[in-house]
Structure 1
Amino acid sequence: MPLFSKIPVANPDGYLFSWQTDRFWKKTRSISALNTTLGNPQCRGVDLNRNFAFGWGKSEESDYESSDVCHRSFGGGKPFSERESTALAKFMFNNRKQIKIYITLQNYGQAVLTPYAAKPVLSKDHRSHVLAGSIAARAMHKVHGEGYELGTFAEALYLAGGTSIDWAYEVAKIKYSFQFQLRDRGSWGFLLPRSRIIPAAAEFYAGVTEMAHFVHLSEMDYENIDKVW
């Protein structure tokens, strides 16, 4: 039976700030030489999912990736400028031989996303990603009838450098790296009602459990990967 390592909150300071001050805060709360002289409170911190050292800073300026320190998607002055992204990367890299699947959770959008985010191309393991991702999406749909899209990050969302799934896949060599976009499709967005949180969690649990079983079986019988499920 596959084992799971869970990191409930990779950005504890930012999470606390979102509870106490700004409900929509997504960055860290770090102060650096880039933002110490700026009085704007929006200029603190870095978007951790733009701070990993793969494709960092290579995408065009947009609402989803920015070199502006005051932007909510600011990727930092350099890759791994943040303690949080560095700690997560070290954990993944040091345990890369044991980690079979890496999943980062976001909302909203209801999608199972595969590499790449930083470039509009398919990975060499795209076939395996589609098989595992479709199994997860199908299992999630069975729980409450909610549909989950499957696609590459760049295809389904937008181009973005410095994401954790690209780094996990390319650098840590974790073959099955995914980003799950949980509920909903946009009606509530980031303000998902409390009553819908547990149903969303149940969908994710079903998806990740079925995916883990598939990956476990496929690792044992890779040549017949199409037949193990």
Structure 2
Amino acid sequence: MTPQYDYEPNMLGILGGMGPLASSEFLKTIYEYNLSSKKEQDSPKVILYSDPTFPDRTEALLKQDYQLLLTKLIKSLYYLYELKVAKIVICCITSHYLLPYIPDYLSSNIISLVDIILSKVIEKQSKYLLICTNGTRQMKIFQNHHLWPFAKDYILFPDLDGQDIIHQMIYNIKIKGDISKTISHLELLLYQYEVNSLIVGCTEIHLLNKYLYSSHNNCDDSPMKNLENIFLDPLMIIAKDLVKFF
């Protein structure tokens, strides 16, 4: 029997820790765009549950050994459910592979980052290069989505060598917080694949997006200024228009 869900209107839950820097930065982004100009008490209610002990998503999925990951994911979603959040963002796109295995009463309140990305690609009809982990790529998380047939003509994948470089870049950000050294990789990718925009197919790239945005705003002659706003970033989309997602 499905539990009755007596949720708190307009309260967002964030399931984070995968990695912790990305989800904490997302929380910061939400308040950067949604602090009330009149009084603090009118700002959004957000609960971040950050659990870095989740098994490595790419490793678990590629080995087809994800029962522990799924169990932990369901348990964590239920924790947020008990706190009466109205909507939940899972700050890990690779984990979206497991959404079909989550009970309906939990999954129905999840804001899918893949939904947001593919919907925006279809709307814009511009060419994008997908930046994601090996797990997301090999498990075909985007390609198996119901919107993929309408978006596929606008999305490019890097070659295998490029994919490995991107995967390592993501893990350097995740583990070391190493952002500045990735700029040259981005410039090369944009040039190599003749695109102007990149899809944030891993939430760690939200950190890079924020870094570029901050660098541009703090220095008018920043060498990164031409890279600002190149990302289709689902976390930024949610933060900028949070009310729309409830």
TM-score calculated relative to the size of structure 1: 0.35
Q: If each structure's helix is expressed as a fraction of its own residues, which one has the higher value? A: 2
